[in-house]
Chains A and B, each alone.
Chain A
């Protein structure tokens, strides 16, 4: 039987899950990506924008605050943390780096420049540059390490370059120094060789030895051999010339020199050759001629100098020892040409000795000496004045006598200095001590001069007296200064002060009078007078100070007190006027005041309370010393004895005369000096006027202060 057919499967299956292309998702993703990218770009842009701004801000901070403070602040904050800080940090780093480098460059350049100016040793400069390199890293501590490292490297490089630069300079400098020293040494050596050749003990062997030593020294200094050879030849030639010239000059006479040159012509020096020797001879001949001319000229000059010194001697001067030695030395070197000058020098020496002797003689002794000289000088020619020296000596003595007679009257102290009695001792007013010392020495010196020349002492030089007068009369100097000067003179010249004031007197009599008031112990009166003189000099017009108002009162007050001292009378009037001016000024007087005028006259005379002034004694106006009274003087006149005259003034007075003086009122006293009175009778100029005299005919002098033991 046939088999039933069976359904055969076709194998249909469910279609597999399709593979979709999710393009939308992909595109969506791309959209998202695009958005992201766009946003990212914007973000990036904004970031860059803000970063740029932050960087700018950072730079601005550095620009505003400076690199170093910013770096320091960042370092304190633990370093830069954002763009702004990083920008500031980087900028500050760059700037600080440049600043430090610039400073370092400047410092290095300064060191090198200073070193070049001062030629500082290289080792010192090296140390200074190293200090710069070592010192600046401290300034780099706040920088970033890389910049600091680079900067250190640069500084090192700069320092090295500077070292090299200075090294080059210093080497040149040292070379120059060495050359300079060498030139100096060579010059000295050369001079030594030439001087040795010219010396009396110089030998050619010695010269060669010295040349060899110096040449070796030059070789040691690596001098070019050509130059050494040139130097040897030149030095040897000069040494031979020097030796020859010296030998020539050592010859004493011109004849010897001429002979020497003749020999030299015959035997030329091998080292110089014939031509060189001729040139040398020519030069020496010229020297010889010059020597002759010079010697003649020097002899003439010496004679002129001697003549000048003799003139000086006649005028009171004295040639100094130095001058005499110089003349002697000059003449000694002239040899033959100085024969005449030597004779004149001997005459000068004699005259100088005689002048020294004459200068210390009194005029009388000198006059006697002149009389002796007129008879001739023993040992000089025959009897009488028959030689030039005798004539000169006589003229010298006569000239000195004239000088002494004239100068002793004008300026005794200066004459003493001029005549060599003492050295000049200026009055030193720099301190009271020095003033005292110098015045004490001056008084001693003037007394010596006064003793030698037999004249009254004059303690000031003309110049000093003029200066003091000027000071006292100065319109600008104050009264205190003037008074101090008067006080000082009075204090230090003591009993000699009247002579000092007297020396000022001829120049300004009222000043001497004021000085006298100081001497009398009346400084306030003196000050009043000085102030009065000052205000008068300043054109103060004294109210109604007319002759009518003043002269009668003055004449009435002083009467005949100044009858033999007319000059003192005028001076007293001038001082009284000055005192009155001061008092009128102080009292603002508008018209003449007779009472104050009388008081002023009294003050000018030296009245001090009840003492001094002018009083009427035996019907005569008499000046009373301020340490005395009217009664004191009346007592003297009435009671003085012969014995007291002898004790007080050493005068022998006739007893009858003394008795007459005691009893007769027509004898009166006249003040002639400080407390010293003369005794007169009658009116001066009249027939009855008479001066009381001692047995020798000298006027009787009574020292009233001594009488009462009131002398200082």
Chain B
């Protein structure tokens, strides 16, 4: 009975491990999707920033065309400023999009490894349960053997006494 219970426990443990691994795989997939969604968001932000920059630059050029030298110092500097700041923000958004994907992949890898580890853990627990079951069954005796006259554990009882 002890061994049977241990076997059931081992099977259960492996099943649990498998479920846990599946859960981690799902989480990995979800992490990837979340990363892609975040990357898209950042890409949208970069597009928005680009649009804003284009709008600013167009406005400056338009103003210069009506009277003001757009190449005069102030207009140019404003254009340069807008280009610098806008490019910086667009670059940041693009970086953020890349990082989101990278991070998501990384997280997904983590979840996959966790799934494997959970499986390993499940196997270990199953093995432990089986070993424990065998040991306990040994303690109480195997049903088929304990009926025989020479199968008792007493046959293996300590024969001698080690001095203290």
Contact = CB atoms under 8 A, between A and B. Distances in A.
B131 A42 contact: yes
A38 interface: yes
B135 A45 contact: yes
Contacts of B74: 4
A38 B117 contact: no
B142 interface: no
Given A10-B45, A13-B92, A26-B114, A5 B164 contact: no
Nearest to B113: A24
Contact of A38 (B116, B125, B161, B162): B125
A1 interface: yes
Contacts of A37: 125, 128
A35 B124 contact: yes
B125 A34 contact: yes
A20 to B, nearest CB: 6
B124 A4 contact: no
B63 A5 contact: yes
Interface in B82-111: 82, 85-86, 89-90, 92-93, 95-96, 99-100, 103, 106-107, 109-111
B162 A84 contact: yes
A26 B115 CA distance: 10
A4 B96 contact: no
Contact of B117 (A18, A30, A60, A64): A30
Interface residues on B, range: 35 or more
Given A7-B78, A10-B49, A18-B103, A34 B164 contact: no
Contacts of B114: 23-27
A56 B127 contact: no
Contacts of A6: 56, 78, 81-82
Contact of A12 (B60, B81, B92): B92
A310 B103 CA distance: 162
Given A8-B52, A20-B107, A38-B131, A27 B118 contact: yes
B63 A2 contact: yes
A4 B78 contact: yes
Contacts of B107: 18, 20-21
A449 B142 CA distance: 118
A56 B63 contact: no
Contacts of A5: 56, 59-60, 63, 78
A22 interface: yes
Contacts of B106: 20
A453 to B, nearest CB: 103
A30 B81 contact: no
Contacts of A61: 161
Nearest to A15: B96
B78 A34 contact: no
User: Which of A12, A24, A64 has the most chain B CB atoms inside 10 A of its CB?
Assistant: A12
Given A12-B45, A14-B95, A31-B117, A7 B81 contact: yes
B148 interface: no
A38 B89 CA distance: 55
Contacts of A85: 164
A56 B92 contact: no
Nearest to A74: B164
B137 interface: no
A21 B110 contact: yes
A4 B60 contact: yes
B124 A7 contact: no
B21 to A, nearest CB: 9
Given A1-B68, A5-B56, A27-B117, A12 B162 contact: no
Interface string A24-63: 1111101101110110011001000000010011101100
Contact of B124 (A2, A8, A15, A31): A31
B79 to A, nearest CB: 9
Which of B48, B124, B131 has the most C-beta atoms of chain A within 10 angstroms of its own C-beta? B124
A38 B111 contact: no
B121 interface: yes
Interface in B34-48: 38, 42, 45-46, 48
* Residue among A22, A38, A60 with most chain B CB within 10 A: A38
A81 interface: yes
Contacts of A58: 161
Contacts of A21: 27, 107, 110-111
Contacts of B127: 38
A14 B96 contact: yes
Contact of B85 (A2, A7, A64, A77): A7
Contacts of B161: 57-58, 60-61, 64, 84
B157 interface: yes
A1 B121 CA distance: 76
B93 A12 contact: yes
A4 B58 CA distance: 11
Contact of A10 (B42, B48, B78): B48
A28 B24 CA distance: 13
Interface in A55-96: 56-58, 60-61, 64, 74, 77, 81-82, 84-85
A26 B95 CA distance: 30
Given A31-B124, A57-B162, A23 B52 contact: no
Given A23-B110, A82-B164, A84-B164, A30 B96 contact: no
Contacts of B110: 20-25
Contacts of A64: 161
Given A12-B89, A27-B118, A53-B158, A38 B124 contact: yes
B86 A7 contact: yes
Contacts of B29: none
Contacts of B112: 24
A9 interface: yes
Contacts of A4: 59-60, 63, 68, 74-75, 78
A524 B17 CA distance: 133
A6 B124 CA distance: 66
Nearest to A63: B161
Contacts of B20: 27
A491 B60 CA distance: 190
Contacts of B7: none
Given A5-B60, A24-B111, A30 B95 contact: no
Contacts of A20: 103, 106-107, 110
Nearest to B122: A34
Nearest to B92: A12
B10 to A, nearest CB: 12
Interface string A607-641: 00000000000000000000000000000000000
Contact of B128 (A9, A26, A41, A77): A41
A34 B124 contact: yes
Given A5-B63, A38-B128, 18 more contacts: A6-B56, A9-B85, A18-B99, A18-B107, A21-B107, A23-B111, A24-B109, A24-B116, A24-B117, A26-B114, A27-B20, A27-B116, A31-B120, A42-B128, A53-B158, A58-B161, A84-B161, A85-B164
8 closest cross-chain pairs (CB), A and B: A7-B82, A27-B117, A23-B114, A38-B128, A24-B113, A12-B89, A15-B96, A27-B114
12 contacts: A4-B59, A6-B78, A12-B90, A12-B92, A21-B110, A27-B20, A27-B24, A27-B117, A35-B124, A38-B127, A42-B131, A60-B158
Interface of B: 20, 24, 27, 38, 42, 45-46, 48-49, 52-53, 56, 59-60, 63, 67-68, 74-75, 78, 81-82, 85-86, 89-90, 92-93, 95-96, 99-100, 103, 106-107, 109-118, 120-121, 124-125, 127-128, 131-132, 135, 157-158, 160-162, 164
